[in-house]
């Protein structure tokens, strides 16, 4: 993956914390070495926080640009698709879903939402399932609202319609 040169004010997506904004560059000492890092402000679990991402591997490790608007039609197809069955074993299901979320792409996040919605049609979602679903939906909706410039209520309504089967 090519290195991307982010500028202060750029919107980015952190694979763990979701949508954020580049505040600028800062020198940080990591494992005894001074490293140039992007300062990224993210709103995670209703609080603002700053994370530092080393510039040299930002694109490979944890930052990406928001998904282009033209790709959302593909994402909507994923959300409304037939879905893939999830493991009946709660722990196996959790590990699979968390791994898919960590992939960081909206495609994988949409797959998690779709598959949990499918699972929830026949089985009661566990507390873990609900937490994962809420996290995935929050990440998707933040990016959806930014890129497509729609109000949250509209994005939520459209998402509900797409995954209702």
- Whole-number percent of the chain with pLDDT over 70: 94
Answer yes or no: do 42 and 118 share one domain: no
| H-state helical runs in the chain | 58-61, 72-80, 90-102, 106-122, 127-148, 152-163
**Other Cβ atoms closer than 10 A to 97:** 25
Domain that holds residue 119: 69-163
Q: Give 112's contacts (C-beta < 8 A, 6+ positions apart).
A: 97, 100, 101, 132, 133, 136
**Other Cβ atoms closer than 10 A to 116:** 21
Confidence of residue 1 (pLDDT cuts 50, 70, 90): very low
Residue with the bigger pLDDT between 72 and 46: it is: 72
Confidence of residue 119 (pLDDT cuts 50, 70, 90): very high
Structural contact between residues 105 and 111, judged by C-beta atoms closer than 8 angstroms: no
Answer yes or no: do 76 and 59 share one domain: no
- Phi, psi (rounded to 5 degrees) for 123: -130, 150
Answer yes or no: do 49 and 113 share one domain: no
Digit-coded pLDDT (tens) for 21-47: 999 999 999 889 999 999 999 986 667
Answer yes or no: do 33 and 76 share one domain: no
Structure confidence at residue 2 (pLDDT): 47
Q: Could you give the CA distance from residue 90 to residue 29 in angstroms, rounded to a whole number?
A: 40
Q: Could you give the CA distance from residue 99 to residue 17 in angstroms, rounded to a whole number?
A: 15
Q: Count up the domains in the chain and report the number.
A: 2
What CATH number should be reported for the domain holding residue 114? Answer: 1.20.58.1290
Digit-coded pLDDT (tens) for 124-151: 999 999 999 999 999 999 999 999 999 9
């Amino acid at each position: 993956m090519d290195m991307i040169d982010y500028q202060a004010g750029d919107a980015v997506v952190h694979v763990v914390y979701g949508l954020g904004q580049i505040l600028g560059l800062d020198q940080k000492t990591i494992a005894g070495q001074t490293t140039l890092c992007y300062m990224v402000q993210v709103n995670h679990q209703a609080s603002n926080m700053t994370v530092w991402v080393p510039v040299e591997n930002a694109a490979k490790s944890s930052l990406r640009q928001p998904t282009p608007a033209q790709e959302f039609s593909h994402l909507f197809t994923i959300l409304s698709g037939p879905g893939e069955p999830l493991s009946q074993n709660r722990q196996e299901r959790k590990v699979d879903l968390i791994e898919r979320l960590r992939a960081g792409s909206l495609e994988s996040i949409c797959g998690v939402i779709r598959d949990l919605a499918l699972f929830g049609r026949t089985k009661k979602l566990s507390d873990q399932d609900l937490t994962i679903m809420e996290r995935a939906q929050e990440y998707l909706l933040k990016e959806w609202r930014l890129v497509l410039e729609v109000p949250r209520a509209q994005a939520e309504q459209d998402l509900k319609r797409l995954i209702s089967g």
